[in-house]
A and B are shown apart, each in its own frame.
Chain A
């Protein structure tokens, strides 16, 4: 293998030497005529040969020189059987001048085996440049500059990566667009691995980024870089405070020239030929970034649903005339830039009688964090009538103004018409009964009307008079009872006396009748006998004189179990006395006999009645 390589090299060498002979070697220099202090400028030497020794010029002491970056090109052409080789070597020096003035760059020399050529002399005017260029912290090659002083030229100076942020001081929820950009000065063959940190405290959303195929050329401070956007994404800070974003790690494949040290061809001349290009993975990282996240001001409005950014709100109703049970849609569109995906749905108090479904949410994002979010409410009117859909009020936080902004839309009026669904054959919709909503609590209203005013009367029970009425009532009753009892007693006494003295009275009358008989006044005897008998009967039978008749007396006597014989005798005597009163004397019995019989009858009746 080594032998083959050697033979090949020798053949090419021979060929080049043959053709090179025919060509004149020219060394040119390309340098700016003027530059500012601190500005990095390039001095480029080009020679139309590849095999030779380049001797750099002696730069001024105040110049800081970096380089050279060497590149060679070889072009072999066959024209009409004639082989023509065009080769060139380019050497680039990066120079920063620190002191102003006019400087002369001496000639550089290129020495081949046969000839030595010199470049022309150049003059450079260094002027006082802007200071802003000097601090190299923002510059991507500052890393490379520090590393570039090392022995190995491929120690990471040429490849770097940066996180470019739109803002480093944001409100919570305010989106930050982050661009991960790659800078390189060397050839890369690809990206092997990209590792993101966990972005603690942020919500990350990738923006669609075309895959990195080719690098764009970009000159930063006079240095040409190949740059490319690896990935773009949006970060939404979730918690307030100083939040550090850890480095992003990426492994790139670097095309590196590796030298093969050959003891036989250890010659600078062969370097160009015996080096080969290999792909080496190299890890690069970004520097950590700290972001200050400001909290949203308190108190938050009640209709704030997390949207931070600058937005506009629109609403649109599909139709203001609706059929009963026919769906209409209310579209609420939130448009603008901000954390659209974190913006919650607006709260709309739809009128009773309109059935509301959860909104359908669609988001259209135009690349970055700007776009629109549509909340689509499906509404089904369940009652006839005119309904007011209230205006939508939606509060967002505007980080530019640093305050809450309330967005409003207009309200709508929906006129619902149409008959019940039964005619159209639609299944009846079950509308559950609703409980009465109690809004608040208050005392009941005062009583109107006359008020039924009345002065308070003193309580009767506290007065003596009241209780005296009880005593009076008792007293009256007692008196009534006593009087009644007295009366009864008296009545009872009179009757008893008459009863007891009945026989005695009767005998007295009979004695009087006897006396009348003796004095010869016979016409009066019978009347006296009748009176004595009637009086006796009235007293004994307790009958008042007005009620005495023969029948009553007989009945009373029969009740007292008197003999019928006695009653008959009584009847005879009474009849006799009555008869004698109307008839002349000496008819029937003599008055004396009647008197005797009456006396005997009273004695016998007395025995029975007592």
Chain B
């Protein structure tokens, strides 16, 4: 009985030591571990913070570095990709992601994105979903106020100006809503995933019976098309599709 209590106390102490610290303290601790060379320890703390819902480009970038240094290239790519969604213009993230990607086994002829899609995505990632949403709402209210101004103006010049301003505000508002939706779909409902198994077979049907179509290695980024049970239909960077076990990938 005493032993059980002792074990319980030990467990409790262990939990306290893990959760008793503030997130900031744990973040700093992870940085120290990284500096001293304990990369997997640092990676574990970063991942825990991520799982608890803490988000910032710094956490994600550091987590990617820790995973990269501890040898888990696939997780490193996942976290770099996540960091890139929060800071699309960050040069360090791009650089590290490029190094991590250079160690991937699979090579693809990637179909380049259309330039305006790329620009639109980049623009949508410059601010968070909620910033875009609030801005869109503010712009909408501004448009409505301009309507009222338009109605009270009796002179032709004032009416024309207020009309065009109203139109611009309305278009901007709609555009910002679109950006917010795009940002949300990229950041929060990403359909992209990174293969984490060292090797996995893509089949023509969900299940273990489908014909084998291709073999993927860890670190390759795929796009999820649909889900059926524990299988996901993914699209490869070169456009091919196949079914892969869902436990072999991590969503970005």
CB within 8 Å of B: which residues of A? 441-457, 459-462, 466, 469-470, 473-474, 476-477, 480-481, 484
Docked CA distance A476–B141 (Å): 10
Q: 12 A-B residue contacts at CB 8 Å?
A: A443-B65, A444-B95, A446-B66, A451-B24, A451-B59, A455-B54, A456-B53, A459-B184, A460-B133, A462-B184, A477-B148, A484-B151
Contact B92 A444 (CB under 8 A): yes
Q: Which of B56, B68, B130, B188 contacts A443 (CB 8 A)?
A: B68
Contact B62 A447 (CB under 8 A): yes
Q: Which of B95, B133, B137 contacts A459 (CB 8 A)?
A: B133
Q: Which of B56, B57, B140 contacts A470 (CB 8 A)?
A: B140
Kindly state whether residue B196 has any CB partner on chain A within 8 Å.
no
Contact B56 A441 (CB under 8 A): no
Given A461-B181, A461-B184, A484-B151, A453–B54 Cβ distance below 8 Å? yes
Given A461-B129, A477-B148, A451–B184 Cβ distance below 8 Å? no
Contact B99 A473 (CB under 8 A): no
- B49-74 toward A: CB 8 Å interface, digit per residue (1/0)? 10011111111011001101100000
Chain B contact residues: over half helix, strand or loop, or mixed?
helix
Q: Which of B31, B52, B56, B95 contacts A452 (CB 8 A)?
A: B56
Nearest opposing residue in chain B for A446, CB measure: B62
Q: Which A residues are CB-close (under 8 A) to B95?
A: 443-444
Q: Which A residues are CB-close (under 8 A) to B194?
A: none
Docked CA distance A454–B56 (Å): 7
Q: Which A residues are CB-close (under 8 A) to B53?
A: 455-456
Q: Which B residues are CB-close (under 8 A) to A457?
A: 130
Tell me, rounded to whole Å, the shortest Cβ–Cβ distance linking A138 to chain B: 67
Q: Which B residues are CB-close (under 8 A) to A481?
A: 147-148, 151
Contact B31 A446 (CB under 8 A): yes
Docked CA distance A330–B140 (Å): 82
Across chains A and B, which 8 residue pairs bring their CB atoms closest together, nearest first? A460-B133, A446-B62, A443-B96, A477-B144, A447-B58, A451-B27, A452-B56, A459-B129
Contact A444 B129 (CB under 8 A): no
Q: Which A residues are CB-close (under 8 A) to B66?
A: 446
Given A452-B56, A452-B58, A473–B141 Cβ distance below 8 Å? yes
Tell me, rounded to whole Å, the shortest Cβ–Cβ distance linking A302 to chain B: 27
Q: Which A residues are CB-close (under 8 A) to B23?
A: 453
Given A443-B65, A453-B27, A473-B144, A460–B55 Cβ distance below 8 Å? no
Kindly state whether residue B243 has any CB partner on chain A within 8 Å.
no
Q: Which of B68, B133, B148 contacts A466 (CB 8 A)?
A: B133
Q: In chain B, residues 21-50, which have Cβ atoms closer than 8 Å to a Cβ of chain A?
A: 23-24, 27-28, 31, 34, 49
Q: Which of B24, B49, B100, B130 contacts A450 (CB 8 A)?
A: B24
Kindly state whether residue B7 has any CB partner on chain A within 8 Å.
no
- B80-101 toward A: CB 8 Å interface, digit per residue (1/0)? 0000000000001001100110
Nearest opposing residue in chain B for A469, CB measure: B137
Docked CA distance A424–B55 (Å): 66
Q: Which A residues are CB-close (under 8 A) to B34?
A: 446
Tell me, rounded to whole Å, the shortest Cβ–Cβ distance linking B31 to chain A: 6
Contact A480 B148 (CB under 8 A): yes
Q: Which A residues are CB-close (under 8 A) to B151?
A: 481, 484
Kindly state whether residue B224 has any CB partner on chain A within 8 Å.
no
Kindly state whether residue B134 has any CB partner on chain A within 8 Å.
yes
Tell me, rounded to whole Å, the shortest Cβ–Cβ distance linking A380 to chain B: 40
Q: In chain B, residues 181-239, which have Cβ atoms closer than 8 Å to a Cβ of chain A?
A: 181, 184, 188
Extra contacts besides A451-B59, A460-B133, A470-B137 (19): CB < 8 Å: A443-B95, A443-B96, A443-B99, A446-B61, A451-B28, A451-B56, A453-B49, A456-B55, A459-B188, A460-B130, A461-B133, A461-B180, A461-B181, A461-B184, A473-B137, A473-B144, A474-B144, A477-B148, A481-B148
Q: Which A residues are CB-close (under 8 A) to B92?
A: 444
Docked CA distance A442–B181 (Å): 36
Contact B99 A441 (CB under 8 A): yes
Docked CA distance A459–B141 (Å): 20
Kindly state whether residue B177 has any CB partner on chain A within 8 Å.
yes
Docked CA distance A271–B177 (Å): 136
Docked CA distance A567–B67 (Å): 98
Tell me, rounded to whole Å, the shortest Cβ–Cβ distance linking B41 to chain A: 13
Q: Which B residues are CB-close (under 8 A) to A462?
A: 184
Docked CA distance A451–B56 (Å): 7
Given A453-B24, A456-B53, A466-B137, A443–B100 Cβ distance below 8 Å? yes
Q: Which A residues are CB-close (under 8 A) to B56?
A: 451-454
Nearest opposing residue in chain B for A462, CB measure: B184
Q: Which B residues are CB-close (under 8 A) to A441?
A: 99
Contact B58 A461 (CB under 8 A): no
Nearest opposing residue in chain A for B177, CB measure: A461
Q: Which B residues are CB-close (under 8 A) to A459?
A: 129-130, 133, 180, 184, 188
Docked CA distance A473–B52 (Å): 36
Nearest opposing residue in chain B for A470, CB measure: B140
Docked CA distance A476–B137 (Å): 14
Contact A449 B133 (CB under 8 A): no
Tell me, rounded to whole Å, the shortest Cβ–Cβ distance linking A346 to chain B: 36
Q: Which A residues are CB-close (under 8 A) to B180?
A: 459-461
Q: Which A residues are CB-close (under 8 A) to B54?
A: 453-456
Nearest opposing residue in chain B for A463, CB measure: B133
Nearest opposing residue in chain A for B173, CB measure: A470
Contact A454 B55 (CB under 8 A): yes
Tell me, rounded to whole Å, the shortest Cβ–Cβ distance linking A488 to chain B: 10
Docked CA distance A460–B181 (Å): 10
Tell me, rounded to whole Å, the shortest Cβ–Cβ distance linking A161 to chain B: 68
Tell me, rounded to whole Å, the shortest Cβ–Cβ distance linking B139 to chain A: 11
Q: Which A residues are CB-close (under 8 A) to B31?
A: 446, 448
Docked CA distance A456–B52 (Å): 9
Tell me, rounded to whole Å, the shortest Cβ–Cβ distance linking A265 to chain B: 105
Docked CA distance A466–B134 (Å): 9
Q: Which of A448, A452, A454, A473 contacts B140 (CB 8 A)?
A: A473
Tell me, rounded to whole Å, the shortest Cβ–Cβ distance linking B68 to chain A: 5
Tell me, rounded to whole Å, the shortest Cβ–Cβ distance linking B90 to chain A: 10
Docked CA distance A457–B62 (Å): 21
Q: Which of B58, B68, B133, B177 contacts A451 (CB 8 A)?
A: B58
Docked CA distance A462–B24 (Å): 29
Q: Which B residues are CB-close (under 8 A) to A452?
A: 56-58
Docked CA distance A480–B149 (Å): 12
Q: Which B residues are CB-close (under 8 A) to A446?
A: 31, 34, 61-62, 65-66
Q: Which B residues are CB-close (under 8 A) to A450?
A: 24, 27
Docked CA distance A392–B119 (Å): 58
Docked CA distance A291–B233 (Å): 70
Tell me, rounded to whole Å, the shortest Cβ–Cβ distance linking A459 to chain B: 4
Nearest opposing residue in chain B for A450, CB measure: B24
Docked CA distance A457–B55 (Å): 10
Q: Which B residues are CB-close (under 8 A) to A466?
A: 133, 137
Given A446-B31, A461-B184, A453–B59 Cβ distance below 8 Å? yes
Tell me, rounded to whole Å, the shortest Cβ–Cβ distance linking A438 to chain B: 13
Nearest opposing residue in chain B for A448, CB measure: B31
Tell me, rounded to whole Å, the shortest Cβ–Cβ distance linking B205 to chain A: 33
Docked CA distance A477–B166 (Å): 13
Docked CA distance A473–B137 (Å): 9
Docked CA distance A441–B96 (Å): 10
Docked CA distance A481–B180 (Å): 30
Docked CA distance A480–B144 (Å): 11
